[in-house]
């Protein structure tokens, strides 16, 4: 998940079995920055409060999947617009 934070935050993993060196996993963010954080961060109360106050914004990323929307995909064939002609080689050389 990608987020933008206006303040520094520390998110604590709610799963007690995910401990690092005997302590729960913590993800820290810096103020005015974009951060890639684990999905479990959304479960942390600090995240919920920050999002509610507007200090945290979740960045939605839309990923285009090839072949899903062929109508909007650019054409790959060599069709030219009607009335189009290639420039002569003399004109291209400045003659």
The tens digit of pLDDT for each residue in 15-71 reads 878 777 778 889 999 999 999 999 999 999 999 999 999 999 999 877 777 766 555
DSSP symbol at 60: P
Does residue 54 belong to any structural domain of this protein? Answer: yes
Residue of 94, 68, 3 whose CA lies nearest to 11: 3
Does residue 51 belong to any structural domain of this protein? Answer: yes
Does residue 78 belong to any structural domain of this protein? Answer: no
Does residue 83 belong to any structural domain of this protein? Answer: no
Range of the domain at 36: 2-59
pTM of the predicted protein model: 0.60
Q: How far apart are CA 35 and CA 65, in angstroms?
A: 24
Domain count, the chain: 1
């Amino acid at each position: 998940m990608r987020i933008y934070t206006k303040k520094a935050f520390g998110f604590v993993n709610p799963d007690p079995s995910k401990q690092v060196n005997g302590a729960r996993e913590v993800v820290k963010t810096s103020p005015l920055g974009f951060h890639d954080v684990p999905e479990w961060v959304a479960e942390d109360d600090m995240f919920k409060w920050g999002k509610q106050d507007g200090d945290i914004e979740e960045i939605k990323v839309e990923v285009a999947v090839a072949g899903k929307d062929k109508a909007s995909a650019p054409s790959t064939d060599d069709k030219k617009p009607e009335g189009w002609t290639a420039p002569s080689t003399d004109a291209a050389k400045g003659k």
